[in-house]
Amino acid sequence: MSGRLKGKVALVTGGASGIGRATALQFAEEGAAVVVADLNASAGEALVSEIVHGGGRALFISVDVSDEASVQAMVNTTVESFGGLDYAFNNAGIPDGASSLLTSTQSNWDRVMAVNLEGVWHCMRAELDHMLSVSKGAIVNNSSRSGLVGIPSDGVYGAAKHAVIGLTKAAAVEFASRGVRVNAVCPGLVETALTHTRFGENLQNRAAIANPLGRMAQPQEIAQAVVWLCSDAASFVVGVALPVDGGSTAR
Ligand SMILES: NC(=O)c1ccc[n+]([C@@H]2O[C@H](COP(=O)([O-])OP(=O)(O)OC[C@H]3O[C@@H](n4cnc5c(N)ncnc54)[C@H](O)[C@@H]3O)[C@@H](O)[C@H]2O)c1
């Protein structure tokens, strides 16, 4: 452990898998106490055991980010258990169930918006309540490359991810002067359960053309950016939507 974040408390939603899991491990590696918050209790508890056996401090909290009361309870339990909340990564998300706007359904729209957009909104409000009360904190929201550009087949998902950047910027400018920095990351294609579910056997072909590097990211490559954005090394970084995408939005 580097110990750079020793004494800090970090909360990661969707922390049981993929990018969230890698970020929880990275926070723990840097010495922070970590809350892994997720719908998936078995994977979340297993990750907490792994962190604790490695000498870190961690706690699993069951949450559905689309449920405001559940999110408020998550933040309350975090503060009660670890004595505060310094960093939050609002990461929980689901893929778009439709392959085209023409075939997307109302139920697809409702669930994608409820988790990927309202979930971030619920989390930010509960986290900001605490962070503003102590005049310090950093929040990173997980948007996507789909939050920066239009991607065929990602219409509803892309609408939610664009809106996450809007929420991020509005909160960033509203609260920077009160000690809380808010930013977003915009990952390109990352090898996780989500992309395997979404693209199946087409994933490798998609990866080869996804960006100038010609490969997918590993979740740790996104985690490093998130932890950096939370840390004091990014003390003058406010309201950015940072592409971590192998150059795909640059071309
Ligand atoms: N994988 C990619 O290529 C990629 C690219 C850009 C953005 N993202 C975004 O990154 C985030 C994480 O994606 P991932 O690829 O790591 O996916 P993943 O499926 O590996 O992990 C997502 C986690 O979120 C949890 N989750 C889902 N709905 C939830 C809810 N309502 N409440 C609490 N937890 C919930 C799941 O149980 C799971 O553990 C998502 O917001 C996704 O949109 C992923």
Chain segment 18-44, per-residue pLDDT in tens: 999 999 999 999 999 999 999 999 999
The domain 9-250 is classified under which CATH number: 3.90.1150.10, 3.30.365.10, 3.10.450.50, 3.40.50.720?
3.40.50.720
Following DSSP, what letter does each residue of 89-100 receive, concatenated? EE------S-SS
Region 103-127 average pLDDT: 97
Mean pLDDT of the chain: 96
Q: Which atom of ligand 1 is nearest to the CA of 115?
A: 31
Region 109-134 average pLDDT: 98
Q: Supply the DSSP symbol for 66.
A: T
Within 6 A (CB) of ligand 1 lie: 13-14, 16-20, 38-40, 63-66, 91-94, 115, 119, 142, 144, 187, 189-190, 192-195
Distance 21 CA to ligand 1 centre (A): 10
State both tokens at 64.
């559905």
What is the Rg, in whole angstroms, of the alpha carbon atoms belonging to the chain?
17
Looking at residue 166, its pLDDT comes to 98
Region 3-25 average pLDDT: 97
Region 144-154 average pLDDT: 94
> Would the pLDDT of 50 be above 70?
yes
Alpha-carbon span 36 to 226, nearest angstrom = 15
Distance 93 CA to ligand 1 centre (A): 4
Contact (CB, 8 A) for 61 and 77: yes
What is the tens place of the pLDDT at every residue in 84-106?
999 999 999 999 888 899 999 99
Residue 103: half-sphere exposure toward Cβ, Cα within 13 Å: 8
* Pocket probe mutation, ligand 1, options 12, 17, 165, max atoms within 8 Å of Cβ: 17
Contact (CB, 8 A) for 60 and 14: no
Region 199-222 average pLDDT: 92
Contact (CB, 8 A) for 74 and 61: yes
Q: Which residue do the tokens 């920095």 mark?
A: 181
From the list 45, 48, 44, 132, the residue with the least C-alpha distance to 84 is 132
Kindly state the percentage of the chain with pLDDT values over 70: 100
Region 36-58 average pLDDT: 98
What is the tens place of the pLDDT at every residue in 211-224?
999 999 999 999 99
State both tokens at 174.
């509203």
**Which are the catalytic amino acids?**
157
Region 184-202 average pLDDT: 92
